[in-house]
Amino acid sequence: MKRAAFRLQPVLELRRTEERAAAAAAAEALAVAAAADRKAGEYEASLATARVPGSLPGGAFIAAMSLLRNAATDASDARALATAQAEQADLVRAQWTAAAQRTKGLERLKERHQAALQHAEDMAEERAVDDLVTGRAGRSPRPGALQDDQEVPWTA
In the chain (156 residues long), the average pLDDT of successive 10-residue segments reads 80 95 96 96 90 83 89 94 96 96 94 93 91 72 60 68
**Tell me, what's the pLDDT at 1?**
53
* Triad 144, 145, 149: Cα angle to 5°: 120
Q: Which of 52, 39, 44 is nearest to 75 (CA)?
A: 44
Cα–Cα distance measured from residue 1 to residue 80, given in angstroms and rounded to the nearest whole number: 63
d(CA 69, CA 67): 5
Q: Which alpha helices (H) appear in the chain, and where do they start and end? A: 9-49, 58-139
Phi and psi for 10 in degrees, rounded to 5?
-60, -35
Q: Give every CB contact of residue 52 below 8 A, 6+ residues apart in sequence.
A: 61, 64, 65, 68
What type of residue sits at position 80?
A: A
**Do 12 and 107 touch, CB atoms closer than 8 A?**
yes
Neighbours of 40 (CB within 10 A): 21
How far, in Å, are 24, 83, 102, 107 from residue 17 at the CA level? 11, 29, 12, 13
**Max alpha carbon distance in the chain (Å)?**
142
Residue 69's pLDDT is what?
92
- pLDDT for the residue 13: 94
3-state secondary structure of 122: helix
- CA distance from start to end of the chain: 58
